[in-house]
């Protein structure tokens, strides 16, 4: 894929007008737009339709985490919306992940099912928070790789993981396994509320499949130029 097709821009906004403006401005520079909890809870499936109406592809970032039957129903609904990709929490367990994969495949029938990703450890969490607040005994890297291997065994297309874990996931899960990486910050940019971050070049060099970028593009004074700068760094890492 071209570098720009591997770039996903996060529509972390609350109104359809804001989302449409970003899609209009950036649709020729990115491969997908991520619709998360704020925009979807504000406007529901209409947010997905708004991106589709402008020719954009959607990564539905709602992180499903519930009993297998409920998540299977959500997977069918996401498939009917025509999203290209959606995610769920690996912490929901193997049965939940398998139920989602089977439901999406059945709903798609002869069409193309969405790519399903397992969210591993949120990029906003560091080792202390994971140990003291979440209660995970394993170190972050070990936990992420464990969940990635489990997701692959359950038939999922890939995982969402921070730049810090890409290389080890790639080693354990192989080249065909997708790694979608948030927490991307150009060199010198603020980390905001993220902890386990990396630059676009670092993430691609480690083996990332797609990069998710939000505020470094959407909050930039010149959004198109910010996107072009990131694409240039991605292209440089591929040479």
As a whole number of angstroms, the distance between CA 185 and CA 188 comes to 8
* Contact by Cβ (8 Å): 31, 1: yes
The answer to whether 63 is a known catalytic residue is: yes
Annotated active-site residue in 4, 21, 34, 63:
63
Please report the DSSP string for 27-43 in residue order: TTT-SEEEE-HHHHHHH
Which residues make beta-bridge pairs with 7?
A: 211
Contacts of 225 (CB under 8 A, 6+ apart): none
As a whole number of angstroms, the distance between CA 142 and CA 140 comes to 6
Q: Are strands 158-160 and 85-89 parallel, antiparallel or unpaired?
A: unpaired
10-43 burial by CB neighbour count: b if 16+ within 10 A, else e?
bbbbeebeebbebbeebeebbbbbbbbeebbeeb
> Is residue 165 classed exposed, middle or buried when 0-12, 13-18 and 19+ CB atoms within 10 A define those classes?
buried
As a whole number of angstroms, the distance between CA 31 and CA 176 comes to 18
Catalytic residues: 63
């Amino acid at each position: 894929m071209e570098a720009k097709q591997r770039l996903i821009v996060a529509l972390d906004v609350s109104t359809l007008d804001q989302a449409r403006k970003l899609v209009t401005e950036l649709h020729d520079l990115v491969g997908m737009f991520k619709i998360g909890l704020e925009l979807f809870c504000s406007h529901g499936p209409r947010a997905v339709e708004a991106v589709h109406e402008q020719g954009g592809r959607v990564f539905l970032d709602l992180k499903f985490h519930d009993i297998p039957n409920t998540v299977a129903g959500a997977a069918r609904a996401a498939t009917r919306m025509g999203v290209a990709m959606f995610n769920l929490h690996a912490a929901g367990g193997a049965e939940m992940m398998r139920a989602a994969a089977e439901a999406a495949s059945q709903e798609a029938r002869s069409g193309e099912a969405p790519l399903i990703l397992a969210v591993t450890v949120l990029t906003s969490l560091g080792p202390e928070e994971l140990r003291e607040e979440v209660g995970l005994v394993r170190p972050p890297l070990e936990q992420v790789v464990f969940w990635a291997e489990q997701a692959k065994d359950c038939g999922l297309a890939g995982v969402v993981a921070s730049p810090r874990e890409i290389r080890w996931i790639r080693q354990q899960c192989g080249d065909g396994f997708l790694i979608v990486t948030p927490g991307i910050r150009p060199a010198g940019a603020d980390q905001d509320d993220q902890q386990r971050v990396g630059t676009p070049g670092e993430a691609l060099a480690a083996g990332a499949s797609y990069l998710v970028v939000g505020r470094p593009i959407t909050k930039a004074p010149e959004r198109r130029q910010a996107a072009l700068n990131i694409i240039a760094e991605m292209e440089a890492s591929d040479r």
